[in-house]
Amino acid sequence: MSRILITGASRGLGRALVPALRGRGHQVIATARNLSDLDDLDADIKLSLDVTSAESVDNAVAECGVPDVVINNAAYSVAGPLEAVETDAFERLLNINLLGPHRLIAALMPGMRKRGSGLIVNISSGTARGAPPLQGAYAVSKAALNLYSQALRMEVAPFGVRVLSIEPPGMKTDLVGAQPTYSRAGYEAYERRGAEMKAQRPGVDVDRVARKIAFAISEEPFSEHIGAAEFLVQTH
């Protein structure tokens, strides 16, 4: 059994990961920016954690200690042509999707190095390999997280800490539906194409993705990377 901390557990993949991991005997620390969003979630421990706040990260770590596994799942998205995406929105996206994992990793890594073990799981996206129409900002943040994971993996391996990068395909969650959308005249063809792609591929069931991740964390041999295609061919 491992103690596993999940960020962004209030909805979507983060919420689905809680029962998937507990079903495999793990102790789950579910976190979300608003603690009340976790009221109906059956987790072992529930904590308030805002990954954009160093103080919030430090408080959460002080309360729960250094877990065996951390899953950096909290995410944010915006849509629209890059020229139209407001700088403040782009900064918020990077603050959550890239700097958020960094804050938590920086806070936990000294304890993991001292212990000589740990697993960092960074939830990236299939879009990191190729951005669909008008999803460039989100894709940029996830591509950066992939490179972050690659560098971190090499740096911390000598200390017994492992890094798993996961690139799920599009899932049936409210992440896209709730994203702010920006537009500019002249991009109508891309908007139509984006709508067509969404209709053609409505998304993979989030519970299926969660079960695959829970299996990867729990079983050997250990994987360093799980690409989008692997979620489409096998369910555990």
171 — alpha (psi -120 to 50), left (phi > 0) or beta? beta
pTM confidence score: 0.91
Please pick, among 10, 76, 77, 138, the residue that the annotation labels catalytic: 138
- Give me the amino acid identity at 73: N
Tally of domains within the chain: 1
Please pick, among 56, 76, 125, 142, the residue that the annotation labels catalytic: 142
| pLDDT value, residue 200 | 63
End-to-end Cα separation, the chain, in angstroms = 18
| pLDDT value, residue 34 | 95
- Give me the amino acid identity at 87: T
Beta strand segments in the chain, E = 3-6, 27-32, 45-48, 69-72, 118-123, 161-166, 225-226
Active site residue 138: yes
Provide the CATH number for the domain around residue 95. 3.40.50.720
Entry field: residues in the chain: 236
Active site residue 212: no
- Give me the amino acid identity at 9: A
Active site residue 142: yes
Q: Which range of residues forms the domain containing residue 92?
A: 3-233
What are the average pLDDT values for consecutive 10-residue runs of the chain, which has 236 residues?
A: 96 96 97 96 97 98 97 94 95 97 98 98 90 89 96 98 90 70 82 70 81 89 78 59
How far is the CA of 91 from the CAs of 16, 36, 73, 85, 96, in angstroms?
A: 27, 26, 18, 10, 9
Reduced to 3 states, what is the DSSP secondary structure of residue 53? coil
